[in-house]
């Protein structure tokens, strides 16, 4: 391959930052990760990122020159290149495009991480050829990217598709957005832990969950106990799936999508989550859409869809840095 045929996709997450060197066929030919949270200030993070960009471009002792860099990040604003004070990053509001541009002479585009996932699915994933679909990422929160008539929906202010903040429970759990009852306080890795503790308080069943402290429990631990047959752990996923299915039924009437594609750490819970979700969806979806919306997990491994989607922005976007 010629150098001009490579792009770099970067997915900045609260825990890890992943980089991928992407070829013209949308294949991630090389991938790297480093800890986001270990870089306490933004200067440290940018240095680490620049070093990683050089490293990922080294192929057979030769540094390739990619055509550009696409960055996916939480609370990212596409036009401005900003990352706006997201809850799970440490640096407040930063202009990631400007900061990186000082050290790397390449066009840089920035996109919201959930939208990057949707683009990755649209261009290279299971949504290829679809005109209407929703990609949902279940991680620390619930992110979504919505594609209608073949295009990503941004809305008047760039907030379209923030489905994690649909209120599903009046006076429900407090959310990071400062309101109560948002679906991501129930349907996310943190939501699963909150539900597990609610069940422990309300039920008397013996459970290994009771050995965990609130600050140490993870959705993965709840999953491992569900596999062992722990009643409360299984019930936790049933409750999560029931709420998720209702939310997806509302998503279905909002956009009439061909498919809803699920990704993110919580999807690793597999049938424990998927089965009650589909059951609840089928019970709650409007009759005219029953059987018309396919709901399935992504084929991509973690962060791959975001990397591919972000890198694909280089084709269609005028680089933020040149605006
Ligand atoms: Zn919220």
Q: CA–CA separation, 302 vs 264, rounded Å?
A: 6
Is pLDDT above 60 for 188? yes
* pLDDT value at residue 4: 62
CA 160 to centroid of ligand 1, rounded, Å = 14
CA 292 to centroid of ligand 1, rounded, Å = 29
CA 108 to centroid of ligand 1, rounded, Å = 30
pLDDT band at 316 (very low <50, low <70, confident <90, very high): low
What would the pLDDT profile of 189-237 be if each residue is shown by its tens digit? 999 999 999 999 999 999 999 999 999 999 999 999 999 999 999 999 9
Is pLDDT above 50 for 318? no
CA 175 to centroid of ligand 1, rounded, Å = 5
CA 74 to centroid of ligand 1, rounded, Å = 14
Find the mean pLDDT for residues 20-48.
Answer: 92
CA 163 to centroid of ligand 1, rounded, Å = 9
What would the pLDDT profile of 243-300 be if each residue is shown by its tens digit? 999 999 999 999 999 999 999 999 999 999 999 999 999 999 999 999 999 999 999 9
CA 181 to centroid of ligand 1, rounded, Å = 7
pLDDT band at 5 (very low <50, low <70, confident <90, very high): confident
Residues in CB range of 273: below 8 A, 6 or more apart: 237, 240, 241, 244, 266, 267
Taking every pair of C-alpha atoms in the chain, what is the biggest distance, in angstroms? Answer: 64
Is pLDDT above 90 for 102? yes
CA 49 to centroid of ligand 1, rounded, Å = 30
CA 243 to centroid of ligand 1, rounded, Å = 15
CA 196 to centroid of ligand 1, rounded, Å = 20
Concatenating the DSSP letter of every residue in 138-163 gives ESSSEEEEEEETTEE---SSS-TT-G
């Amino acid at each position: 391959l010629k150098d001009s045929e490579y792009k770099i996709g970067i997915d900045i997450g609260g825990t890890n930052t992943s980089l991928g060197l992407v070829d013209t066929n949308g294949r991630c030919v090389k991938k790297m990760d480093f800890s986001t949270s270990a870089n306490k200030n933004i200067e440290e993070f940018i240095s680490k990122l620049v070093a990683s960009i050089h490293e990922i471009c080294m192929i057979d002792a030769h540094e390739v020159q990619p055509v550009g860099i696409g960055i996916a990040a939480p609370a990212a604003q596409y036009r401005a290149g900003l990352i706006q004070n997201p809850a799970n990053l440490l640096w407040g509001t930063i202009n990631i495009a400007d900061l990186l541009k000082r050290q790397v002479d390449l066009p840089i585009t920035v996109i919201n991480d959930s939208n990057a996932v949707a683009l990755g699915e649209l261009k290279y994933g299971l949504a290829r050829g679809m005109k209407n679909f929703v990609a949902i990422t279940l991680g620390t929160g619930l992110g979504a990217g919505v594609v209608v008539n073949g295009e990503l929906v941004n809305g008047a202010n760039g907030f379209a598709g923030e489905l994690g903040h649909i209120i599903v429970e009046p006076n429900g759990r407090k959310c990071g957005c400062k309101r109560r009852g948002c679906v991501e306080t129930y349907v996310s890795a943190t939501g699963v832990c909150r539900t597990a503790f609610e069940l422990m308080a309300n039920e008397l069943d013996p459970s290994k969950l009771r050995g965990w402290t609130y600050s140490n429990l993870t959705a993965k631990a709840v999953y491992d106990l569900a596999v062992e047959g722990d009643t409360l752990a299984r019930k936790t996923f049933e409750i999560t799936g029931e709420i998720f299915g209702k939310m997806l039924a509302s998503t279905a009437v909002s956009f009439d999508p061909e498919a809803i594609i699920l990704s993110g750490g919580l999807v690793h819970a597999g049938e424990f989550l998927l089965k009650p979700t589909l059951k609840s969806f089928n019970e709650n979806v409007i009759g005219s859409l029953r059987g018309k919306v396919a709901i399935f997990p992504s084929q991509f491994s973690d962060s791959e869809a975001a990397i591919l989607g972000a890198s694909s922005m280089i084709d269609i976007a005028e680089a933020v840095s040149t605006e």
